[in-house]
Structure 1
Amino acid sequence: MHYSLKRLLTICSFLILISCSPSYYEGLPNSEPLVIVTNSFDESISFIHGSEHELLTTWNLDHPVSGTLLLDQNNLLTYSSIHSKLYLYDLHSGKEVQSFSVSSGVDDLLLLNNKLYLTQREDNELVILSLKGEILDRVKVGYSPQYLYHHENALYVLNYEDTTISVIDLTTNQVTTTLPSIDRATDMLIVNDSLAWIGGHGRGADITNHIEIVDLNRQEKTGQLFAPTMPVAFLKQDNSILVLSHGSNQLREINAETNEIEAIVDTVANPFTMAALDDFLFVAGYDSNSVEIVDLNTLTSQKRINVGEGPLDLTIREEVN
């Protein structure tokens, strides 16, 4: 009787110990190129070899995740729009090495000058953290800030619900300008010294079919480019700009100087994001649970790789020589 009770207590103690221990996952090679895929629906991260184009492994996490950020070649930070905790993982060992809490969920996260810049829409703030998770500054911006775009010494905060973009000087952490935007903007790209493109979803039945062009000097809208439906992501590639429209499942190549459409190709179902590595483009299909690999020179599909459910974010790790 005493032996059984002692054994039961030992088992319970062990279960408590492992439940409180950091998580471990399959480790990744140190120097190989990676495409890191955040699967938001099933709370997992898939790792694709960046040059061999094969799925290496998938980590099934025990917490929500909507994006990742590399602090260096080996340390990966995860964040979530619905979870107020950030987790740091060592890629080579697969070990969770640190976690820290913030006041609410995080929609976007950038590493600039050894500081973390994150959007918190519940508080209408941009929050600046040290790499240890200490709050360095808070900047009030527009309503429901979600997405970030960095250019030179400025950080552009796309306020999702109030059709504005808050421009922050990275030296002073002050909002210096407010630019006009569109309903539920998701991405922007500064095309030249004076013009920016803005894309997004639109609101309700009034979906966005155009890229909005904004004059940065005059701080006003100056035109539109037709790119249906819902142009949500941009990527500059040589003299062209790639535009991903997730409502029509299409990828467009637009000449950066003439604004002429040079190509339109179909892609994965409900694509939200894309990223380039070497001569290939990786497109995440939220509804297809796959990543499509596209040859950047020909815009032809080379392969589709099945990942977790709801791939929403891509992070690139280049090869280390």
Structure 2
Amino acid sequence: MKIRLFLFVAVWIWLIAGCSHSSYPAIKEDNYLLTLNLRDSSLTFINQKGERIADWFFDDMYTGGVLFPDGDRLLLYGTQLDRAAIFSLSEGKMLDEWKVHEGTTGALYLKDSKEVVLANKEDRSLHFYNEKGKETDIVKTGKYPMSLTEYQGMLYVINYQDTILSEIDLEKKKVVREFAIPSSSTGLMIEPNQRELWIGGHGHGKEPQSQVQVYSLDTGQKTERINTPMMPVNFASDGKYHYVVSHGSNMIYMLNDKKEIKAKREVGANPFTIEPFANEIIVAGYDSDELYFLEKGSLKLVKKVKTGKGPFVIFVKEENK
């Protein structure tokens, strides 16, 4: 009888353990940033003082994600995974797993409709999900949809292995216009004052891209180029200046509203991502495993902070955002 009871309890404990998710350090601070690190499949949390406050490590290989507007729920996806995970940062645990399609290459949260859109390279489509993880719509795009941004009811999608950018009416869930763009484009930013779309890229073949391509949102035509060598791949803005990260040259460029370069700085090794945070601009060095805190308006180096291995995405959580 005792043996049976022991076996029953042992099996019950094993089942509970198998069905439960791992727990992580809970993040209780109001303002912080976190990096998704690809080479060791982790998150690194850093507060406003530049202190490394926690690390989360995963068994799954996540390659991107979306921080929900509540600043607490974080969706992480992996290009080779058929599921996306929803975590609570303040509770330090996984809340849910969504069934998604393998091949996810980009993600964006749509505030007006409270949807998450996932770009998928395998079926060349955008998949729309409500906040409960139910798939609600699918929109076909070009080859390898990846970079996403939203503006005034329109969703703009760079098709990385194609020569078109798709403009999608979010109410109709339909492609309504296509922009002619260079192959291997990546990185998108809307410049609302001039009604412009800025596009970066790696370049194609032996020719690295050295310029930001600027398009009119009204006409869809290319209007000018901004020289920011080499391989401009991401953008940030603080309301006064625009910042461009060029990972081929490890350079950060600061531009005014006339698109004039007012400052530049070499940082790290192989930077891919850039985000404003408090009074600083944060850049991640993928190969140097560091964050670089740069002063807004000057690009003066304030401090460097170590992260996990291969910081590829920066998420920012601020109370006033």
Shift of 1:8: 7.9
The equivalent position to 1:68 in structure 2, one of 59, 65, 68, is 65
Q: What do residues 121-167 of structure 1 show as CA deviations (whole Å, max 9, x unaligned)?
A: 11100111111111111001111101101112111011001121100
Q: What do residues 75-105 of structure 1 show as CA deviations (whole Å, max 9, x unaligned)?
A: 2211122222111111122111110111223
Q: What do residues 2-45 of structure 1 show as CA deviations (whole Å, max 9, x unaligned)?
A: 9899868865764554233111101010x511201100121111
SS at match of 2:82: strand
d(CA) in 2 for partners of 1:69 and 1:153? Answer: 19
Which residue matches 1:40? 38
Asked if 1 retains the 8 angstrom alpha-carbon contact of 2:241 and 2:297, the reply is no
Change (3 A) 1:177 1:87: same
Shift of 1:237: 2.6
Correspondence 1:73-112 to 2 at 5 A:
73-112=71-110
Which residue matches 2:55? 58
Which residue matches 1:260? 260
Across the aligned residues of Structure 1 and Structure 2, the Cα RMSD in angstroms comes to: 2.1
Change (3 A) 1:136 1:37: same
Which residue matches 1:240? 241
SS at match of 1:18: helix
Shift of 1:298: 2.4
Asked if 2 retains the 8 angstrom alpha-carbon contact of 1:271 and 1:284, the reply is yes
Correspondence 1:113-132 to 2 at 5 A:
113-132=113-132
Shift of 1:319: 2.5
Which runs of no fewer than 5 residues in structure 2 stay unpaired? none
What is the number of residues matched between the two proteins? 317
Which residue matches 1:152? 152
Which runs of no fewer than 5 residues in structure 1 stay unpaired? none
d(CA) in 2 for partners of 1:61 and 1:166? Answer: 34
Shift of 1:312: 0.6
Correspondence 1:264-303 to 2 at 5 A:
264-303=264-303
Shift of 1:217: 2.9
Q: What do residues 234-262 of structure 1 show as CA deviations (whole Å, max 9, x unaligned)?
A: 112333211100010010012222x2211
**For residue 59 of structure 1, what is the amino acid of its counterpart?**
W
SS at match of 1:83: coil
Shift of 1:290: 1.2
Which residue matches 2:203? 202
d(CA) in 2 for partners of 1:196 and 1:107? Answer: 21
d(CA) in 1 for partners of 2:82 and 2:217? Answer: 34
d(CA) in 1 for partners of 2:261 and 2:221? Answer: 24
TM-score calculated relative to the size of structure 1 = 0.92
Which residue matches 2:25? 26
**For residue 239 of structure 1, what is the amino acid of its counterpart?**
K
Which residue matches 1:164? 164
Identity %: 30
Which residue matches 1:217? 218
SS at match of 2:105: coil
Asked if 1 retains the 8 angstrom alpha-carbon contact of 2:98 and 2:133, the reply is yes
TM-score calculated relative to the size of structure 2 = 0.92
d(CA) in 1 for partners of 2:124 and 2:51? Answer: 40
d(CA) in 2 for partners of 1:44 and 1:239? Answer: 33
Which residue matches 2:177? 177
SS at match of 2:126: strand
d(CA) in 2 for partners of 1:204 and 1:166? Answer: 23
